[in-house]
Amino acid sequence: MILNRRGMEIRYQDYAKVLDEAVENDFIYCDPPYLPVSKTSNFTSYTPDSFTQGDQERLAEVFHRLASKGCFVMLSNSPKVRHLYEEHGYHIEIVRASRAISSVGSKRGPIEELLIMNY
């Protein structure tokens, strides 16, 4: 998604392609498949190839490049990706997000997520 002075665009394409068109002051929000926090919370198979640790690292590089272009970038993800962003001085917030997915009802409820922003 790109939000800028012209309005908002939602596209179905490889997320790295935003690098080709993003310009200074654009706002880009990334909501990737989260890195699983446990072996049973693996919801990364949104595509036939899944979303691997390598994809998380590639997304972090895209985030860094967008930030260096002067874009406002925000990303949500699991706490397990913190190491990919924290050494760059980004603003990182921990939020509690409700989840209703679990085969065991007593395990449903808020979990920690990260909001990572370069602003």
d(CA 92, CA 76): 10
In sequence order, what are the residues at sequence separation of 6 or more whose Cβ sits closer than 8 angstroms to the Cβ of residue 45? 33, 51
Mind listing the domains of the chain with CATH numbers? 2-117 (3.40.50.150)
Q: What is the pLDDT along the chain (119 residues), one digit of tens a residue?
A: 555 556 677 777 788 888 898 999 999 999 998 877 655 555 545 555 678 899 999 999 999 999 999 999 999 999 999 999 999 999 999 999 876 665 666 666 678 899 999 99
Cα angle for residues 33, 21, 23 (degrees, 5° grid): 100
Q: Which residues pair with 95 in a beta bridge?
A: 113
